[in-house]
Amino acid sequence: MGPWIPGRWVWELGVRLPFFPPSSPLFLLGSLADEFPWVATEQLKSTTGPNSAPQTSTPIPGPEDGTTTAYSTNPATILQSGHALVQSNVNLDLNDPNSAGNLYVVAVPASGKMQMFYRASSNNPSCHCSLNKTWISTETFESGIGDTAPVMVQDYWRTQDENTPGGFQLLVVVNGQVQHWQRVNTDITSNPPKAGGK
């Protein structure tokens, strides 16, 4: 179904919500205990722990316990990224322990808009980690995002079973209001997000 649409919830902030600082490291612990992707300022990055398969990309300085590798530098500057990284069930084969679903993240580039990026799973049978390390920049939406990073989850509304891709639910604070955005993903497998989409 595709692009981002305003959700049903928009309300004034009446209490202080526990939002995380801009570009705080985000660790994802999904079915892959030794791969911890994260997003940080300046560019999309991913950290792979010491127990993972060797990286084929050129490493840049990273933490002591892993290698940080840059995967997307377009746009060159990511101003905000928070807890908006989702390891989805898109392209996930639940019957294959080597399968990994696509990764999706929404960040705020220098334009002040929100933009979704994704990394397709490679489902390599000889490795339990996705070997596809290319982040694809896609849809942009909303504008004037301030100093609060978006947060996102995958839901299971409109799904028939555990293999049906759920939608994305996103919250972000803009001008003192919490905005809710949603992306219905009923056709995300056959019609993946495209660059420049809205």
39-64 confidence digits (pLDDT tens):
333 344 444 444 444 434 333 333 33
d(C-alpha 41, C-alpha 144), whole Å: 18
Contacts of residue 127, defined as CB under 8 A and 6 or more positions apart, other chains included, come to: 53, 98
Contacts of residue 164, defined as CB under 8 A and 6 or more positions apart, other chains included, come to: 89, 156, 158
* pTM for the predicted model, two decimal places: 0.63
d(C-alpha 56, C-alpha 147), whole Å: 34
- Using one digit for the tens of pLDDT, what is the confidence trace for 61-102? 333 334 444 444 444 478 888 788 898 999 888 888 778 888
Task: For the sheet with 151-154, list strands across it.
Answer: 2-12, 177-184, 168-174, 151-154
Contacts of residue 64, defined as CB under 8 A and 6 or more positions apart, other chains included, come to: none
Does the pLDDT value for residue 35 go beyond 50?
A: no
Of residues 68 and 171, the one with the higher pLDDT is 171
